[in-house]
Structure 1
Amino acid sequence: MGETGGVLTRFKNPEYTGENRCLPCTIVNGLIAAVVSVAVGAALSTSSSVTTGTAIGGGVFLVSVAAIYFRGYLVPGTPELTKRYFPPWLLSLFGKGPAAGTTYDSDLDPEVALQEVGALEPCPEGDDLCLTETFRADWNDEIDRIKAEDVSRERLLDLLDIDEGTVEFEEFGDAFQASVNERVVGKWESEAAFLADLGAANVLADRYRNWEQLPVYEQSQLLNGIRLFIDTCPECGGIPEFGTDTVESCCSTHQVAAVSCTDCDARLFESQPI
């Protein structure tokens, strides 16, 4: 049995099966398989016998299901078709669209709040905002200390006042997210982004009045807001650069605004352009 399973596994396409399986593709191909099987069975029932038509139609369906299971799709090119023709709102129902996620109502304005605690200030030239020198120094010191102590992810959860036992981490390549009771409370594009947030959380906990009383999603808003302004990569010390990138999943392709360090290819911030 084990040997048979190993042989069958070799026929699997890992790009579109297992954790990478595209649910919309599977559903669409499953419907196609059902329609084709019924059509074949009906046609043969008319020209031959009902028993023969039903048997062959059922056989077509089983072969089709096997193809979907092992290859991820029945009709060649289905993943590309879902990217091109499925609207974002439909993909988001399956957690595949760029708009997938949980949205919270909040009156918090991160830029205003971060200026009030001395983390941001108007740039000397231009209308943009920049890190204050004191916050930059404190932030970098915290990141250096965290790296030296090899602090784990659980430390950030402590600062966000989240019970470790209720947290579930999901990995997506270099990126990962934390969920509490199936509600996403934090997303990090890389370990470098996580280090940036952990250092910023330590500094903001000292500067922001009643930090501990803030809802987790508002704390996350502030951490995401300040990370956009980071000017030194926590992982390799390189200079982050702002640009746009195309993010591609099994079912969708969309543009994002991104802050990345080209020295070590660490993604520090990612957001859909408005």
Structure 2
Amino acid sequence: MALHSQYQNSQYTGANRCAKCTVFNLVATVLAAGLIATANLLVGAFVFVIGLASIYFRGYLIPGTPTLTKRYLPLNVLRWFGHEPTATDGRGPSIESVLLEAGVLHEGAQDLYIDPDFQQAWRTRVQERRGAADDQLLGQIGGLEAEQLDQANVESSEDGVAAAVSDVQIARWDSRGVFLADVAAAQELEQRYGSWETLSFDERTAVLGGLRLWLEWCPYCDGRVTLGQETVETCCDTIEVVVGACEDCNRRLFELRASGAQLAA
């Protein structure tokens, strides 16, 4: 365990690992090992093993890969490498249209605002679920088949909450508080939005992610949530994010790409 912690780079592994960057590096490893193996099979196998170990512990194969990726990859490739999902990938209703049709948001003179009744119902549902097991809460979001739920696993850590099906990550939340907020909002949207059952799991989590911008109270302590903007480094790019944090308990609740804040603009 000590050896594992000593060599692992948490910035690019674990919950912070980029799946698409990992695939990119695996392909590079296979190609390099295959090319070397044509001349020396043993050396090629050695390079393959070392490459896999590097990707597992460090998150990438070549030192400086994240910096090189940000500097030299074309913009359209960087967009493909991004982590943040679009509303419904252009195939379904937008986040805004879902929330407006559900009566969760309303159009004001200059801005959208959240329905007070929904806000209170949302808060009550969160309070009712604080002591529930995470594995049970995942199913309340919906959009997953019974077989998928049987194979699902939810892990909580200091880095947030990660949900996986058959060891493949399907969603990640920056904190357990936001996970609770999403689950509670999903239950309330099921009652208010007639087409909620037609949305996939990914579409639901995208809608729930957009709704976080209207989270005014902390899911942990009921304190006041404030929004701020920061510049953060990812493995592939430098991005602007909106950060939600609690004024009372100082917990950092969530990050959203700044472009997602257009809903509240």
For the residue of structure 2 that corresponds to 1:246, the secondary structure is strand
Question: Counterpart amino acid of 2:129?
Answer: I
Sort the Cα spacing of 1:100 and 1:150 in 2 relative to 1 into closer, same or farther, 3 A.
closer
Q: Which moved more, 1:257-266 or 1:162-171?
A: 162-171
Distance change in 2, residues 1:11/1:62 (3 Å): farther
Residue 140 (structure 1) aligned with residue 123 (structure 2) = yes
The 5 Å alignment of 1:40-55 reads: none
Whole-angstrom distance in 2 between the partners of 1:11 and 1:131: 44
Does residue 104 of structure 2 align to residue 119 of structure 1? yes
Partner of 2:184: 199
Question: Secondary structure at the residue paired with 2:129?
Answer: helix
> Match of 2:241, as an amino acid?
A
Name the Cα RMSD after superposition: 4.4
How many angstroms does 1:27 deviate by?
Answer: 5.6
- Structure 2 CA distance, aligned partners of 1:12 and 1:33? 26
CA distances 1:25-64 after superposition (whole Å, capped 9, x unpaired):
56658877998x89xxxxxxxxxxxxxxx78xx87x7886
Q: Percent identity?
A: 24
> Mind listing any 5+ residue stretches in structure 1 that lack a counterpart?
1-5, 39-53
Aligned residues: 243
Any conservation in 2 of the 1:98–1:254 contact (CA below 8 Å)? no
Bigger CA radius of gyration: 1
Mapping of residues 97-108 of structure 1, within 5 Å: 97-98=81-82, 104-108=89-93
Query: How many Å separate the matches in 2 of 1:79 and 1:112?
Result: 36
Q: 2:112 aligns with which of 112, 129, 132?
A: 129
Shift of 1:134: 1.2
Tell me the TM-score normalised to structure 2 length: 0.66
Q: Which residue of 1 aligns with 2:223?
A: 238
For structure 2, list consecutive stretches of 5 or more residues without a partner in the other structure: 261-265
Give the alignment's TM-score, normalised by structure 1: 0.64
- Structure 2 partner of 1:270: 256
1-side partners of 2:4 and 2:151: how far apart? 37
1:198-217 equivalences under 5 Å are 198-209=183-194, 211-217=196-202
What does residue 86 of structure 1 align with? 73
Residue 253 of structure 1: which of 214, 226, 237 is its match? 237
> Map of 1:139-218 to 2, 5 A cutoff?
139-147=122-130, 149-162=131-144, 163=146, 164-167=149-152, 173-178=159-164, 184=170, 186-209=171-194, 211-218=196-203
Distance 1:32 1:271 in 2: 35
Q: Could you tell me which of 7, 24, 43 is aligned with 1:13? A: 7
- Aligned residue for 1:228, secondary structure, equals helix
Match of 1:46 in 2: none
In structure 1, how many angstroms separate the alpha carbons of the residues matched to 2:76 and 2:155? 23
User: How far did 1:194 drift?
Assistant: 0.9
